[in-house]
Amino acid sequence: MARLFIGLMSGTSVDAVDAVALAIPDDSGPPATIAFASLPIPAPLRTQLRALTRSADDELERAAQAAHELTELYAQAVSALFEKAGPYASPIVAVGAHGQTVRHHPERGFTIQLLDGALLAERCALPVVCDFRSGDIAAGGQGAPLVPAFHREVFAHPGRRRAVLNIGGIANVTLLGADGALEAGFDTGPGNTLLDQWCQRHRGVPFDDGGSWARSGAVLPSLLQACLADPYFQRAAPKSTGTESFHLDWLAQRLAASGAEGARPADVQATLLEVSAATIAAALALTAELDEVLVCGGGVRNAALLARLRDLCAPVSVASTAEAGIDPQAIEAAAFAWLAARRIDLQPVPLDGVTGANGPRVLGALYQPAGVRGR
Ligand SMILES: Nc1ncnc2c1ncn2[C@@H]1O[C@H](COP(=O)(O)OP(=O)(O)OP(=O)(O)O)[C@@H](O)[C@H]1O
Ligand SMILES: [Mg+2]
């Protein structure tokens, strides 16, 4: 018998709310995704959420309003999931909802994910777990990435040293030992976010399909050097970052510093692709003799980025998690379904030094729907 949980995720790309129904077996078998749905975030809400990553006027009011709108979208994603999956064999135990990160400053003791947990519990008539990150930060950790614990659950493979690479707006890696141990997990820096934002500005579309625009340009060495000089890339793990650190103003400073302000936009895009690929490959090179790299997240669809990663990581194989039988789009949302199960069971999340917290903690705040009685 398995228990069912729903996971809801909207990541740093601010592209969509992804929803997963995850079956967690009662025995020690691996969790299995049984349904997936994805609802695009409407452009006005995306603009609003992106703007909230930077200081501006009237933030409290705008953040509360955006959280409210996003929560309604999360609730619609749950409905879309039910429509797709049809009737379930067993009832849903709880929903794990990430919310939208608008500030992530673990060094200053806080991280903010916008979401109204009470409203989501009301809309879904299910217990909702959210605010997963602040408990880890309170314990001295980075609060991110949290998914490596789930990556180990799903991808640890006896006898194989694997890296799991998630290319979202920000990219993160999980290193799994041949004994199944979680050896490390950290954010490498920008994944898609700079590529998306530059593409939106110059081409008016939210992403560079297949990376073909980047392919049409040539890497600008001085700009590349200026970008790679950001101290984040040299910092040792544990470390995590967000789009409040990597954005178009960050790029503008480096364009100015490298004298590349008048460069062709396609050449800048090619350089940004190289920044993502080079920093990811450098992070993977920190570990000894990987057997393979399994890639998930939307970046897996950027063929140019994947090809460049393959070049840089050769002879280590770089493949989509689809080749290990797991949909690369569903993994992050599935992780939050699994994290909800940990919270419901009052099980600490085994992050084994990934975030640098003082020890494993039970993570997440629980909102109960109407009709739940307790003391
Ligand atoms: N066909 C495609 N070609 C190139 N890039 C794509 C394509 N499809 C999706 N992407 C990229 O994937 C991104 C979405 O990926 P994903 O949803 O994994 O990121 P995310 O929402 O930031 O997640 P997280 O932060 O949780 O990792 C898009 O913004 C885009 O950059
Ligand atoms: Mg996304």
pLDDT in tens, the chain (375 residues): 899 999 999 999 999 999 999 999 988 788 999 999 999 999 999 999 999 999 999 999 999 999 999 999 999 999 999 998 876 656 899 999 999 999 999 999 999 999 999 999 999 999 999 999 999 999 999 999 999 999 999 999 989 999 999 999 999 999 999 999 999 999 999 999 999 999 999 999 999 999 999 999 999 999 999 999 999 999 999 999 999 899 999 999 999 999 999 999 999 999 999 999 999 999 998 776 899 999 999 999 999 999 999 999 999 999 999 998 899 999 999 999 999 999 999 999 999 789 999 999 999 999 999 887 765
Segments of 126-223 assigned E as strands: 128-130, 162-167, 170-176, 182-190
Closest-CA residue to 276 (of 167, 137, 144): 167
Q: How many CB atoms lie within 10 A of CB 133?
A: 27
Inter-residue long-range contacts of 230-234, CB under 8 Å, 24+ positions, other chains counted: 230/189, 232/189, 233/188, 233/189, 233/279, 233/282
What pLDDT is attached to residue 1? 82
- How is the beta sheet containing 16-25 ordered, strand by strand? 32-40, 16-25, 2-9, 92-97, 128-130, 365-367
- Nearest CA among 315, 279, 324, 307 for reference residue 164: 324
Please work out whether the CB of residue 11 comes within 6 Å of at least one atom of ligand 1. yes
| DSSP strands (E only) in the chain | 2-9, 16-25, 32-40, 92-97, 100-105, 110-114, 128-130, 162-167, 170-176, 182-190, 292-296, 317-320, 365-367
Q: What is the pLDDT of residue 352?
A: 78
**Strands 2-9, 16-25: parallel, antiparallel or unpaired by DSSP?**
antiparallel
Q: Give the count of alpha carbons within 13 A of 113, CB side only.
A: 24
Quick one: pLDDT at residue 29? Answer: 84
- Residue closest via CA to ligand 1's atom 7 equals 301
- What does the pLDDT read at residue 220? 98
**Single-letter amino acid code for the residue at 77:** A
- Within 165-235, where are the H helices? 193-203, 212-215, 221-228
Question: How far away, in angstroms, is 14 Cα from ligand 1 center?
Answer: 9
Do 2-145+330-367 and 147-324 come out as alike in CATH topology?
A: yes
In the DSSP assignment, the letter for residue 321 is G
Position 255, amino acid: L
Give the closest residue (by CA) to ligand 1 atom 31: 192
Residue 259 CA to ligand 2 centre (angstroms):
33
Tell whether domain 147-324 is in CATH 3.30.420.40: yes
d(CA 353, CA 18): 28
Pocket test for ligand 1, best of 207, 280, 295, 309 (most atoms within 8 A of CB): 207
The CATH superfamily holding the domain 2-145+330-367 is ATPase, nucleotide binding domain (3.30.420.40)
pLDDT of res. 366: 98
Q: What ranges do the domains of the chain cover?
A: 2-145+330-367, 147-324
CA-based nearest residue to 134, from 116, 114, 109: 109
